[in-house]
C-alpha cells in the first residue's frame, strides 16, 4: 500500500538512535525529506548522516538540545530554510527515568519533564507556523503511563501529560486541517535484550499478549500510518503499540 509520503517534508526529534532513528529511516525510505536532531551522541549522528546520504531526499542531522528554546529555534530554522515548510512533525526525543519518588531530586524531575514534555511544546510551538494544510503531528509517549510503575513516577507523569496535550492541541489545529496523534509504545527492544538481565527480559516478554517485545520498526510503522494522508480523519487519537500488555 502506498502511504503517500513521497515528497513530504518531515521534522523528527531524536532521530539518531532507537525509535527515532527507525522513524527517520522509514520516512526517508518512503520518499520524505527529513530534518532531525540529537543532543550528544555524535557517532550515532554521523552514522545516520551516512545512511541518509544513500537515500534520495534533502536530509539534515542537527545537534540541538531541545531543553533549550534557542536550540529549538535554530533546529526548526533548518527545516524552514532547507525544506521551506513542513508536512510532518514527530516528537520522539525522550529520556528514561528510574528512581523511587523519595530519591527524585528537582534536577532529575526537570531533566525528565523538560525533555519529555516541555520540548514537545517548544517544538510544536516553533513548527506550527511552518505547517502546511493537512499536516500531521505525532507525539511518542509510553503505554506505561496509563498503568504506572514503581520507580517511574516522574517518567510516567511526563508521558501521561502528552495525552491531555494531544487532545487539546487537536482542537486548536483541526480547523487548519492539521492532525495530531499520540503513539504509545510498550517495551521496545531498541538494543539487543533491551538492556535487561535475561530473567527480566523473559518476564517482560510474558507481559505482552504477543509474547515478545516490540521493535523500533513496529513503532515507526505506526508513526508512518498516522503521518500518512491515509489517516486523514484520525486526530486526537492514541495508538498503543505495546503487543497487548
Ligand X SMILES: NC(=O)c1ccc[n+]([C@@H]2O[C@H](COP(=O)([O-])OP(=O)(O)OC[C@H]3O[C@@H](n4cnc5c(N)ncnc54)[C@H](OP(=O)(O)O)[C@@H]3O)[C@@H](O)[C@H]2O)c1
Determine the interface stretch with ligand X among 3-11, 127-135, 186-194, 226-234 (rule: CB under 6 A). 186-194
Residue 38 designated active-site: no
- Torsion angle of alpha carbons 105, 106, 108, 109, nearest 10°? 120
Specify whether the backbone of 233 is left (phi greater than 0), alpha (psi in -120 to 50) or beta.
Answer: alpha
Write the DSSP symbol of residue 215. -
Distances (CA, A) of 88 to 143, 171, 226: 23, 18, 10
Determine the interface stretch with ligand X among 4-12, 91-99, 161-169, 203-211 (rule: CB under 6 A). 91-99
Q: Out of 9, 10, 26, 94, which residue is the one contacting ligand X (CB under 6 A)?
A: 94
In whole angstroms, how close is the CB of 69 to ligand X at the nearest point?
12
H or E element that contains 12 = strand 9-12
Which 3 state secondary structure label does DSSP give 227? helix
Answer yes or no whether residue 60 interacts with ligand X by CB under 6 A.
no
Q: Out of 5, 27, 35, 93, which residue is the one contacting ligand X (CB under 6 A)?
A: 93
For residues 73 and 127, what is the distance between their CA atoms, to the nearest angstrom? Answer: 9
Q: Out of 12, 24, 104, 115, which residue is the one contacting ligand X (CB under 6 A)?
A: 115
Write the DSSP symbol of residue 115. I
Between 10 and 29, how does the x/- string for binding to ligand X read (CB under 6 A)? ----x-xxxxx---------
Residues 61-90 close enough to bind ligand X by CB under 6 A: 64-67
Active site residues: 155
The residue ranges that bind ligand X (CB under 6 A) are 14, 16-20, 37-41, 44, 64-67, 92-95, 115, 140, 142, 185, 187-188, 190
Amino acid at each position: 500500500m502506498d502511504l503517500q509520503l513521497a515528497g513530504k517534508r518531515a521534522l523528527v526529534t531524536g532521530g539518531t538512535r532507537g525509535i527515532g532513528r527507525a522513524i527517520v529511516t522509514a520516512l526517508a525510505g518512503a520518499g520524505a525529506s527529513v530534518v532531525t536532531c540529537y543532543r550528544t551522541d555524535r557517532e550515532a549522528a554521523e552514522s545516520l548522516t551516512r545512511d541518509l546520504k544513500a537515500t534520495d531526499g534533502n536530509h539534515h542531522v542537527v545537534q540541538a538540545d531541545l531543553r533549550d528554546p534557542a536550540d529549538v529555534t535554530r533546529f526548526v530554522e533548518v527545516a524552514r530554510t532547507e525544506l521551506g515548510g513542513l508536512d510532518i512533525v514527530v516528537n520522539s526525543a525522550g529520556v528514561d527515568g528510574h528512581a523511587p519518588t523519595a530519591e527524585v531530586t528537582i534536577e532529575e524531575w526537570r531533566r525528565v519533564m523538560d525533555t519529555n514534555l516541555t520540548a514537545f511544546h517548544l517544538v510544536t510551538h516553533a513548527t506550527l507556523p511552518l505547517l502546511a494544510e493537512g499536516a500531521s503531528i505525532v507525539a511518542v509517549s509510553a503505554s506505561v503511563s496509563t498503568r504506572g510503575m514503581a520507580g517511574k513516577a516522574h517518567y510516567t507523569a511526563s508521558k501521561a501529560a502528552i495525552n491531555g496535550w494531544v487532545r487539546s492541541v487537536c482542537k486548536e489545529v483541526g480547523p487548519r486541517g492539521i492532525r495530531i496523534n499520540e503513539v504509545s509504545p510498550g517495551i521496545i527492544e531498541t538494543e539487543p535484550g533491551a538492556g535487561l538481565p535475561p530473567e527480566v527480559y523473559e518476564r517482560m516478554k510474558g507481559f505482552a499478549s504477543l509474547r515478545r517485545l516490540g521493535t523500533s520498526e513496529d513503532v515507526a510503522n505506526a508513526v508512518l500510518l498516522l503521518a500518512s494522508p491515509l489517516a486523514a480523519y484520525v486526530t486526537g487519537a492514541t495508538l498503543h503499540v505495546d503487543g497487548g500488555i
